[in-house]
Structure 1
Amino acid sequence: LVQRVLIKPNIKGLEEEEEAPLPLLPLGLDFSRPWHNNFIKVKKKILPKLHILHPIMKNLLDFSYAAFSDFLIVDFSSFRLKGPVDCESLKTEVSLSCAKAEEKILNTWYQKVISLFSQKEALKGVKLYQTDSFFNCVSVLMSNQLKELLRRTVEAFVKLFDSEDRSYLPLFKMNLSLDEKKMELYPSFQDLEEGILFLVNRIGQTFQNIQTVRSWLAGGATTLDTELPNDVIELATSTLKKAIGENLQEPKAYFENYVDKYGWLVDGTAQARIERFEAEEHTFDEYT
């Protein structure tokens, strides 16, 4: 910041003139550079600890992209084509798909990762004191790739219930049953909602026991952090609950109307009327 001010010259005749005071600095502005030293200090700390620019990290990202870019843990495209399905059967199918996807990833992508970091050149340029931060960087990259795959799969599942596009909406079987003089649907609306939400949690349970590279190489038991963030689960759950509620409005209304019309036939009302009629005396015409 440059400030300019007129200074009274030493000229005869201006003795009575008063010099104006220097203007005050603008309030709230600080033109010092304390941040610069902090920046240099932090930069020096970061350089030996972050290894994202190491050539091997690029290789890891390259074949991770090739493996995951168009892959989902569960193929939801055929759900609608199957027609009405039993909720329990769907839960079993999704669980099997998650298990198969995890096995596939462990036998392909994960083996490539292990092979990559088993090479002598893997730690080229990494000093001994940088080993921990180097493998931490590897773990973070792997975790992010798997978390992103889980997130995309959950979002694809939630998308099936989009109220603006019902062309992929799954169809669920619901059986009308008579139990202890009551009309009920099986599964109940509550059980159906819980079954659908279960699928989100089941997807999120995939890849939860994958060893870090360093743990695998050293024979340890440390695993990658692949747990989905709470905000992803919460958003998926709230979106599904809203969609399920909207899609079940008509079935609920139909069921309630059905119970209103025919519930008296099974709740004991009809039987009581018959018994009362039989206990009374009636004419032949009334019996016929």
Structure 2
Amino acid sequence: MAHGNLMLDLLSGKYHEERAKVLAESRKTEENKKAKTTKKTILPQNYRAFLQTCAALNPDEQLDILKNKWRNVNRNQTLTKEDSERINYYLNNGITDDAYERFPQQVLVKLKKNRVELNLIKKHSFIAANLDNEVRHNYTTASRKIILDYILKDPDELKRLQITKYHLPEHPTMLVRGPVPWHHMTAIKREQLRHSLYIFKEPILMLDRIWEKYSEGFIFSIDTLKTNGMPIGPVGLQEFLDKSCRQFRSQLVNKWLVECAELFKDTRHLYRDVLPARGMEVSKYQVDKFFDCVSATMSRQLRQIVFKSLNHFMEYIHDFKDGNALNTEYKENMFINWPFFILKAIPDPSSTKILFEPSYEVCLDLLLSIPKEIVKTVEDMPRIEQLLIKELKGDSTMVLKNVYESEEEVQTMLLEIRQILENNFPGPEKYITYYQTYTYLIDGTEAKLLDDFFSIEPFPLLNDFNDWVIKYTTIKDSFCNVKNQAQLNLMMLDVSESEKSSEIIGEPQKKRSADFDE
């Protein structure tokens, strides 16, 4: 009976309908299983970001997305009929052939020779001729298009050619990512940097804002020195240097460091993640790394102000690098630079020499002390931890990094200063040779000559005494005609002491002669 029913179902088609339903349900069941396996797992909200992975799309799918995005951008960029006609005119007729370089025939010849077999060109000569014409036409069109694009970059040219809208060709950058997971490693590296690199944390960035008001000016200010009066004596220069360095260091210690410490007290919540939480073991490594970064930032700021001050002084001192050699007789305003310090010429009472005060060695030490003291101003500046943690206060090892005198840049500056001083000492030595002609007044030669004159037998006549009086008056007048100071580039030479000594020694001789004359 069952067999008969099956035959009836086959003949009526009912069997095939039921079989199709069973197969359809089976396929649907398989598709539901696949959909469940490929369904994206929803991660819990507290799941760490760096554990989420993301597989890149297929490169073809990425290109389709980028192209569709570009098409949507340019969809509404249409030209008017008038603009289109004008552009076509310039592309076809308006730009003549002599406006661009002729077609490079040798390129086409090489192309046929190296890329196409000769028998094919002969066999399909008609097609080859058409291709030649097409290549030449494309070259001509491209050359005219480039010229037109360049001209119409200028809005004034658009107005002149009566073109209201012209879209320059744009070549979009379509960056396709490789079809490999990337987010997982990126997130891990970001977390690693967050725990080892702190320069982008808000408190450290705020250090630069605090430093702005303290970085103005210089440790040793030439402008302030000019206001106080230049040229300046060696004692005054040393006092000004000590005062400037002392005041700047006091400002850093009593204001800058205190303000930085207050910043870290007030912004504790911004770097709480590097500090140990209550009940957790102290992560000394992480805390040290954070404050090392703070120290590096503050050390960099100190280094900036030191070299800014050094360069400021060197820029000024370089104006005197040409020296003051006197190849001719000294004249007033011979050197245009206003002198830096005062050098005195003082006669040595025990000899006929005229000495400089300060001496060359003292001048050199004084000039070299300026960059050295600038460097020492920020020496052993306490780190911020000394102000935040009482147990570390006074720790000599907890200091910001110093600028050392032994550094190459500083040593180069010291050598330049030494050379500049050497270039500026020949001038004073040459200038004082003028007074060498009057050494006989100092060494006692003139006094002996006068004694010999008085011991002459018979006693000299009054006319002879008159000659001696005239001689000493002439010497005195010659000193009056010479200026007490000479501007010799780096230094102001003060010769008033030498003139005064010569006058003091020569005046008794004159008075002695005059008394006998009377």
TM-score (norm 1): 0.72
For the 8 Å contact 1:160–1:170, the answer to whether it is kept is no
Map of 1:48 onto structure 2: 195
Q: Aligned partners of 1:78 and 1:215: how far apart in 2?
A: 34
Map of 1:284 onto structure 2: 460
Map of 2:400 onto structure 1: 224
> What are the Cα deviations for residues 132-155 of structure 1, in whole angstroms up to 9, with x where unaligned?
111111111111111211111122
Matched, 1:121 2:269: yes
Q: Aligned partners of 2:299 and 2:338: how far apart in 1?
A: 30
> What are the Cα deviations for residues 1-50 of structure 1, in whole angstroms up to 9, with x where unaligned?
xxxxxxxxxxxxxxxxxxxxxxxxxxxxxxxxxxxxxxxxx999866333
- Structure 1 residue 207 displacement after superposition: 2.2
> What are the Cα deviations for residues 90-132 of structure 1, in whole angstroms up to 9, with x where unaligned?
1111111111111122233222111112232253332533111
- What are the equivalent positions in structure 2 for 1:30-45 lying under 5 Å apart? none
Q: Aligned partners of 2:194 and 2:338: how far apart in 1?
A: 49
Map of 1:234 onto structure 2: 411
- Structure 1 residue 173 displacement after superposition: 4.3
Matched, 1:161 2:317: yes
Q: Aligned partners of 1:201 and 1:269: how far apart in 2?
A: 47
Report percent identity of matched pairs. Answer: 18
Q: Aligned partners of 1:277 and 1:138: how far apart in 2?
A: 85
Q: Aligned partners of 1:180 and 1:266: how far apart in 2?
A: 9
For the 8 Å contact 1:86–1:172, the answer to whether it is kept is yes
Q: Aligned partners of 1:185 and 1:169: how far apart in 2?
A: 16
Letter in 1 for 2:388: L
Map of 2:220 onto structure 1: 74
- Range 172-181 or range 238-247, more displaced: 172-181
- Structure 1 residue 217 displacement after superposition: 1.8
Letter in 1 for 2:389: A
> What are the Cα deviations for residues 190-241 of structure 1, in whole angstroms up to 9, with x where unaligned?
3222212122212221122421011322232222222345223212211212
For the 8 Å contact 2:201–2:271, the answer to whether it is kept is no
Q: Aligned partners of 1:58 and 1:277: how far apart in 2?
A: 88
Q: Which of 254, 257, 264 lines up with 1:107 in the alignment?
A: 254
- Structure 1 residue 66 displacement after superposition: 3.7
Q: Aligned partners of 1:132 and 1:250: how far apart in 2?
A: 58
Q: Aligned partners of 2:409 and 2:453: how far apart in 1?
A: 62
For the 8 Å contact 2:234–2:342, the answer to whether it is kept is yes
Q: Aligned partners of 1:168 and 1:63: how far apart in 2?
A: 37
CA 1:264–1:46: 2 relative to 1, 3 Å: farther
Specify every segment of 5 or more residues in structure 2 that has no aligned partner in the other structure, as ranges: 1-188, 276-282, 322-335, 466-518
Q: Aligned partners of 2:448 and 2:355: how far apart in 1?
A: 21
Map of 2:231 onto structure 1: 84
- Range 231-240 or range 138-147, more displaced: 231-240
CA 1:197–1:117: 2 relative to 1, 3 Å: same
- Range 86-95 or range 269-278, more displaced: 269-278
- Structure 1 residue 268 displacement after superposition: 4.4
- What are the equivalent positions in structure 2 for 1:117-266 lying under 5 Å apart? 117-119=264-266, 120-126=268-274, 128=283, 129-163=285-319, 167=337, 169-181=339-351, 182-219=353-390, 220=392, 221=395, 222-228=398-404, 230-255=407-432, 257-266=433-442
Q: Aligned partners of 1:200 and 1:179: how far apart in 2?
A: 36
- Structure 1 residue 174 displacement after superposition: 1.9
Q: Which of 74, 88, 93 lines up with 2:240 in the alignment?
A: 93
CA 1:138–1:46: 2 relative to 1, 3 Å: same
Map of 2:212 onto structure 1: 65
SS at match of 1:176: strand
Map of 1:20 onto structure 2: none
CA 1:73–1:49: 2 relative to 1, 3 Å: same
- Structure 1 residue 248 displacement after superposition: 2.9
TM-score (norm 2): 0.42
Specify every segment of 5 or more residues in structure 1 that has no aligned partner in the other structure, as ranges: 1-41
Name whichever structure is richer in helix by fraction.
2
Map of 1:5 onto structure 2: none
Q: Which of 1 and 2 has greater Rg?
A: 2
Aligned residues: 245
SS at match of 1:207: coil
Q: Aligned partners of 1:188 and 1:282: how far apart in 2?
A: 50
Q: Aligned partners of 2:256 and 2:273: how far apart in 1?
A: 25
Greater RCO between the two (CA within 8 Å, min separation 6)?
1
For the 8 Å contact 1:87–1:195, the answer to whether it is kept is yes
Letter in 2 for 1:176: I
- Structure 1 residue 254 displacement after superposition: 0.5
SS at match of 2:221: coil
Q: Aligned partners of 1:242 and 1:273: how far apart in 2?
A: 45
SS at match of 2:318: coil
